[in-house]
Structure 1
């Protein structure tokens, strides 16, 4: 895994926790641990999901802080039909999550 990807993954794990990150990828925590090791390779779909999740996290964290961003990621979101952003990212619905993040940032 490239250094930028590894940094993004480490930042997400530090902020959201290993289990929430695993849920975003619809994987188990052991997979995330493996990905954190040097030389790990992500599949293209997982790499895209990582970039999407990190982009959304960065938007929310930039508008508030890491604590709020974590709560936003794991909490129910009315713009997502009361699903959490984690749940929506797990099924590949990054566009809706990004739209909800932009609405949150613009309303704040």
Structure 2
């Protein structure tokens, strides 16, 4: 499957989890953990964030963790020099959830509309 189609199909399959994502992101914001919650989605259990969901996609198990921009920057996933640029892009998508999708060696940020 073409990567773009793969990511679009993954976005669609996550739509059923929007309510849970809303509650999780809300908790991160309400508890002043971060203003930038990010959902990390991977075929393997990521070493970042806290696991919140396991689901099947295309016959394979996927894991969703909740993390933050601060953790991603501290761990070197987002370059410290790019944090302000990232915040601008994030804020431009305030009606979406930010996801970091990892597939094999490739990772991509996408924004999933909140509803």
TM over 0.5: no
Quick one: higher RCO (CA 8 Å, sep 6+), 1 or 2? Answer: 1
Greater fraction of residues in helix: 1
The bucket for the TM-score relative to the shorter chain is: under 0.3
TM-score, normalised by the number of residues in structure 2 = 0.26
Greater fraction of residues in strand: 2
